[in-house]
Structure 1
Amino acid sequence: MNRNDLIIEKINKVYQSVENVGFDIALDWKSELSYSYYEGFSSDIDFIRKGSLFSFLGMVINHFYRSTLAFGPEKSEDKENGEEKILHDITIFIKIFIDNFEHLNKDFPITVFFVIKFLFLIDNTKKFEDRFEDPLYPQYFNILRKEYFSNIDFSKYKYYSEIKEELGFSYNYF
């Protein structure tokens, strides 16, 4: 199976999970849905780019609501039932999201808005530096704050249903 087939398979599983249970329910980012979705942010294939961004949004929403942790390890929370959690380094996602921001925002401005909004909410609840252990690209926390958080108009979009319309989804769990 090539990389495109693998990411398409994972994206389809994300879509199916959201269709079945909605976004606010904990999705299994640690095993069944585990994937480096940021690899799809620069894809020329619309389905992969859109699905990768949607998956990242799901990860940040689930992480913010603490329904499941997609990123880590979190300081003082890096063990679950005595086992190391297998989590993603949020800074890799943030770095590649920022690297592809113009392209993603041009095509999917509503979804990008909600990604930034939930990253802001995660950071505002507890600063990224105080939350995550040994991130690979910690400098991107400040870039995100200075260049993206400071320019966000939280009243611009209010409902998940706007994402549904932008991405062309037909199901109702938004």
Structure 2
Amino acid sequence: MPFTYAIVHDGTRCLIFKKKKHGHFFQRQAVNPKADLHGGGKYCFPGGSQTEANPIIGARREFREETGIVAPTDVIREWKFTEGDGTGCCFEIPADALTALHASVSRQLEMANSGDWTNEDCKVQDNELKNPELVPLANLPGDYFRADDKDTGWFHSFVTRLKAELEK
């Protein structure tokens, strides 16, 4: 089954997350909080199974499900990179929009991870992410994603290809 991931950046900074080791709800339904999440404890981008024919639509859906926020529509440009079964969908947005998005996502994940996910203001559907960070693209892949890591190897490839695209 193919996978799709949302990589949101402003050309100099990128929004990345830590994958939680355990989730407490998926599709807004409680699950076993002791079940391990794939790639738990490592850096990641929002994403998952691609059920749509267009990976960009799937990446937008996954971003909304995992962050509680609709993926930005005020994109400067968007493109995608495929690596094995995964597609990294890149959304370049203005710097001020990325800063505002980071703040909104942080609030949503704080509600979801504090146990307040039943609050109607919490829009997160899948409790997988924590610690959203704005990281300079110059620091990626660095210590965040390793090419030889079975969980983060494709993120390493996506970021490397994104940086090459931005240098054109």
Settle same-fold status: TM greater than 0.5. Answer: no
Structure number with the bigger relative contact order (C-alpha 8 A, sep ≥ 6) is 2
Q: Scaled by the length of structure 2, what TM-score is found? A: 0.31
Compare the two structures and name the one with the higher strand fraction.
Answer: 2
Q: Scaled by the length of structure 1, what TM-score is found? A: 0.31
